[in-house]
Structure 1
Amino acid sequence: MHEHEKRDYLLKGVLPVLCASILWAFGYFARKIILFEITPLTLTFITAFVVSMSLMLWLRPHPLHLWRVFHAHIWNHIALAFTGVIFGTTLMFIALDNLDLGLATVLEKLQPLFTLVLAALFLKERLPVRVLPYCLAALISSVFIFTESTQTLQMALSPQNLIGVGAVIGAAFSWGMATIIGRKLMLSGVRSREVTLIRFTLAWLFLAPILLLQGDLVTHFTLSPFVWIIAVGSAIITTAGGYVLFYSGIKVVDAPTSGFLELLTPIVSLALGLIFLDETIRYTQIFFIGLMLFSIYKISTTKTKRT
């Protein structure tokens, strides 16, 4: 690789993915500090609406072309909106509302494990035997990370912890399913940016009538300016901005590099929780977090083949 190629690889590939991973961590942090005043479902709606509008302004797609892309794979796009945003994002916000920031973002990294299993089931991709020990290590590590954070069985079985863990596992599973659906769409020739735009647009369109029936769209106009600034700002900067940076970066970097850089999200989240939210971490947790993230890295960079 020549000098200018190395520079392009770093500036156009590594740096955008690195920044996206850090932005996502700050996005989780920002959402956690406002969830005391806003419901997870309403926050998902605001996020989806703002991201959709931001991507519309950035991509400037032709409406007729976008309709054709949607109509050609209508059910896959709808399924992606539900798994990727309505279920996945809302469940992650519920997890952030009930668990420590660091714990929630670390456990969410189980997503590649679900993606691997779901790819074997729905895309008929062969599950490599060599990756099974890493799957087992990731699962065992996640259990120890959680139990070490609660210290006692009574705390582990508290409603708040059970809701939080159930929500983060549900989010990881939903996003794993969304990855499979998104992969199917891209194998059909749909561009990743269009997949993302349609996903977020459909999500807020489906959520709007639900929130109207609940009265949340009206009552939440009384939210404080601080909550609105954080909700809208984090959607523009960390979610929409993160996607723009990530998709531009993965055109240049290889899968192992991207997988490694994405691990910065839980690491930065852990640091933010320790510094700003008075969260704690035990030495045994550090070991299991390291083991889990290493295992997830190996899983996420595993190449699978069609059976």
Structure 2
Amino acid sequence: MKSRRNVLTAALTGLAPAVWGSTYLVTTELLPPDRPFLATTVRALPGGMFLLALGRRLPAGVWWWRAPVLGVLNIGAFNLLLFVAAYRLPGGIAAMIMSAQPMFVVILAALFLGERIGALPALACVMGAGGVTLLVFKGTVPLDTVGVLAAVGGALCMASGITLTKRWGRPGGVGLLTFTGWQLTAGGLILLPFWLSLENLPDGLTGANVFGFAHLITLGAVLSYIVWFRGIERLPAVAVSFLALGSPVVAALLGYLFKDQTLSALQIVGMAVIFLAIVLGQIRPPRKKAGEQSGEPPSATPRTTPSHLPGQPAPEQERSG
């Protein structure tokens, strides 16, 4: 039953990267051209403020700085660096570099969450990067240093956001909608000055523009991030990180269906490899028994008797002889 519940949770969480994979198509076909920061700010800030108004609760205590940190890593800085990489690098190269994100999570989870670096996650990292390469690589091109650094930074931001969200958890008494609202608002606020200083407002909005922005705010931000943060709470950080590899697969499929882009045999193989990497990334290593963790045989583990109340110091052992 628990295994089935984990599968359902992973499938639901994977819907978030699938929705994010549609962002490229929505941006190019429905939104005003050459307005990346407008699109990203509108995607995060209105939805975040709506959830804040709905929850009627602001961060308190350490969450005055933790919530903005998570919002910057998961949303603000991540999307900013992603757009910089997308503008300075071919999309395939940017996706290839971003596919290193699960590897970063494997390392960070081992350092800060105590998750073991097993053979399966390591193999899944290699397969995920290889599958994305087969899916998006179009040939050798000169690389822009700033673009490469932005792509690496974006992958690190997402990996750090997943790890810290898992480590800090959600404050007690705060609902998931409010928790998501904190992060969306913080991420939108950090993007706001970049939009105001680097871009102008479009001359007007068409019906397609309104529909595109509505998609970004509802499915692309509010609903997808609620599902995403729910998954981080219930699944290991490493397992969640591999689900993000579904985003380039959805982007490639939508490009094939709606933009007459080709889909070669190698790309199909790449999709299959990515899917297998995602599945391997969900497999949890068996837990060690207490005796195995301490390096002693199970029989050597002393037994405890309920001779004192929980939470009180145990009485001293009687001296023999």
TM-score for the superposition, normalised by structure 2 = 0.68
Q: Is the 8 A contact 1:107 1:142 kept in 2?
A: no
Q: Is the 8 A contact 1:27 1:238 kept in 2?
A: yes
Distance in 1 separating the partners of 2:31 and 2:146:
15
Is 1:33 the counterpart of 2:15? The answer is: no
Is 1:201 the counterpart of 2:195? The answer is: no
Q: CA deviation at 1:274?
A: 0.8
Q: 1:290 aligns with which of 249, 257, 272?
A: 272
Task: Kindly provide the CA deviation profile for residues 115-145 of structure 1, in whole angstroms up to 9, marking residues without a partner as x.
Answer: 1112223334332244323323333444454
Distance in 1 separating the partners of 2:88 and 2:30:
13
Quick check: which one's helix share is greater? Answer: 1
Is 1:83 the counterpart of 2:78? The answer is: no
Other-structure match for 2:298: none
Q: 2:201 aligns with which of 194, 202, 220?
A: 220
Q: Which has the higher contact order (CA 8 A, sep 6+)?
A: 1
Distance in 2 separating the partners of 1:128 and 1:269:
30
Distance in 2 separating the partners of 1:81 and 1:241:
16
Is 1:61 the counterpart of 2:55? The answer is: yes
Distance in 1 separating the partners of 2:90 and 2:260:
10
Tell me the SS of whatever aligns to 1:222.
coil
| Bigger CA radius of gyration | 2
- Are the structure 2 counterparts of residues 304 and 47 from structure 1 closer, same or farther at C-alpha, using a change threshold of 3 Å? farther
Other-structure match for 2:48: 52
- Are the structure 2 counterparts of residues 215 and 173 from structure 1 closer, same or farther at C-alpha, using a change threshold of 3 Å? closer
- Are the structure 2 counterparts of residues 93 and 35 from structure 1 closer, same or farther at C-alpha, using a change threshold of 3 Å? farther
- Are the structure 2 counterparts of residues 145 and 14 from structure 1 closer, same or farther at C-alpha, using a change threshold of 3 Å? closer
- Are the structure 2 counterparts of residues 129 and 23 from structure 1 closer, same or farther at C-alpha, using a change threshold of 3 Å? closer
Query: Unaligned regions of 5+ residues in structure 1, if any?
Result: none
Q: 1:231 aligns with which of 198, 206, 213?
A: 213
After superposition, residues 74-113 of structure 1 pair within 5 angstroms as 74-95=64-85, 108=98, 110-113=100-103
After superposition, residues 94-173 of structure 1 pair within 5 angstroms as 94-95=84-85, 108=98, 110-146=100-136, 149-151=137-139, 153=140, 156-157=141-142, 167-173=150-156
Q: Is the 8 A contact 2:102 2:125 kept in 1?
A: no
Distance in 1 separating the partners of 2:163 and 2:242:
20
After superposition, residues 264-303 of structure 1 pair within 5 angstroms as 265-302=247-284
Distance in 2 separating the partners of 1:97 and 1:127:
34
- Are the structure 2 counterparts of residues 104 and 257 from structure 1 closer, same or farther at C-alpha, using a change threshold of 3 Å? same
Distance in 2 separating the partners of 1:301 and 1:223:
49
Task: Report the AA paired with residue 92 of structure 1.
Answer: L
Q: Is the 8 A contact 2:98 2:154 kept in 1?
A: yes
- Are the structure 2 counterparts of residues 250 and 55 from structure 1 closer, same or farther at C-alpha, using a change threshold of 3 Å? same
- Are the structure 2 counterparts of residues 294 and 173 from structure 1 closer, same or farther at C-alpha, using a change threshold of 3 Å? farther
Q: CA deviation at 1:75?
A: 3.2
Task: Kindly provide the CA deviation profile for residues 22-48 of structure 1, in whole angstroms up to 9, marking residues without a partner as x.
Answer: 433333421243577233223221111
Task: Kindly provide the CA deviation profile for residues 127-173 of structure 1, in whole angstroms up to 9, marking residues without a partner as x.
Answer: 22443233233334444544xx323x3xx2265xx776665444332
Segment of structure 1 superposing worse, 189-198 or 276-285? 189-198
Q: Is the 8 A contact 2:245 2:274 kept in 1?
A: no
Distance in 2 separating the partners of 1:298 and 1:15:
14
Q: Percent identity?
A: 22
- Are the structure 2 counterparts of residues 283 and 165 from structure 1 closer, same or farther at C-alpha, using a change threshold of 3 Å? farther
Q: CA deviation at 1:93?
A: 3.7
Task: Report the AA paired with residue 120 of structure 1.
Answer: A
Count, aligned residues: 283
Query: Unaligned regions of 5+ residues in structure 2, if any?
Result: 288-292, 294-321
Q: 2:159 aligns with which of 153, 167, 176?
A: 176
Task: Kindly provide the CA deviation profile for residues 75-127 of structure 1, in whole angstroms up to 9, marking residues without a partner as x.
Answer: 33222222111221223344555778788668755433321112223334332
Task: Report the AA paired with residue 299 of structure 1.
Answer: G
Q: CA deviation at 1:289?
A: 3.3
Other-structure match for 2:315: none
Task: Report the AA paired with residue 201 of structure 2.
Answer: H
Distance in 1 separating the partners of 2:124 and 2:235:
24
Q: CA deviation at 1:177?
A: 0.9
Tell me the SS of whatever aligns to 2:34.
coil
- Are the structure 2 counterparts of residues 283 and 103 from structure 1 closer, same or farther at C-alpha, using a change threshold of 3 Å? farther
